[in-house]
């Protein structure tokens, strides 16, 4: 899955911020501790002007961290 790469500062600035009445930014960290943001085409269409810079951020493949074994 391809996502937008965020710096830690960018992640802290937008995490949990609503950009539409019922849509907020939810950033996730990959296996290498890199922060990512995923936006649908509908989300992109609703982005306010002040967040359009996100669409110009670099993108890369998201590699999820391993899921912890619930039995250990």
Contacts for 39 with CB less than 8 Å, ≥ 6 apart: 4, 47, 54
Tell me which residue has tokens 């590699």. 63
pLDDT tens per residue, range 8-50: 999 999 999 999 999 999 999 999 999 999 999 999 999 999 9
Max Cα-Cα span within the chain: 47
SS3 57: coil
Q: What is the pLDDT of residue 11?
A: 98
pLDDT tens per residue, range 54-65: 999 999 999 999
Are residues 64 and 30 in contact, defined by beta-carbon separation less than 8 angstroms?
Answer: yes
């Amino acid at each position: 899955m391809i996502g937008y790469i965020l710096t830690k500062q960018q992640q802290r600035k937008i995490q949990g911020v609503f950009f539409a009445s019922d849509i907020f930014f939810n950033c996730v960290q990959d296996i290498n501790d890199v922060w990512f943001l995923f936006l649908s085409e509908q989300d992109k269409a609703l982005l306010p002007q002040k967040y359009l810079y996100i669409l110009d951020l670099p993108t890369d493949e998201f590699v999820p961290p391993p899921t912890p074994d619930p039995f250990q």
